[in-house]
Amino acid sequence: MASHWQTPLSEPLTLRSGDTLLTLLDVGHFLRSHFGGTRTPPLQSTIELLLQAAETGAESDRRAATERLSRLLKFNRWI
């Protein structure tokens, strides 16, 4: 069971809207509300890394999830 949802990302990610994603939970809410039922390979791998980070809370997992999320957000022009 994932118990580290309130754990911070390895670095905050500020969106073009001015909102900032600070925790794994923030990312989960953002992905659900903006990508809905979309399941592209880049999104799926981001979700998998996010779930791993939420499961372990490990810095290395949080860093991997943050880096992948940053690339996804840049590609989709959210940051």
For the stretch 25-49, pLDDT in tens is 999 999 999 887 778 899 999 999 9
- Domain for residue 11, yes or no? no
- Domain for residue 32, yes or no? yes
Position 2 confidence tier, pLDDT thresholds 50, 70, 90: low
- Domain for residue 5, yes or no? no
Q: pTM score, two decimals?
A: 0.91
- Domain for residue 12, yes or no? no
- Domain for residue 52, yes or no? yes
The two structure tokens encoding residue 42: 């880049």
- Domain for residue 47, yes or no? yes
- Domain for residue 4, yes or no? no
- Domain for residue 18, yes or no? no
Q: State the residue for tokens 């900032």.
A: 20
Tell me the residue range of the domain where 35 lies.
Answer: 24-75
Number of domains in the chain: 1
CA distance 49 to 66: 9
SS3 47: helix
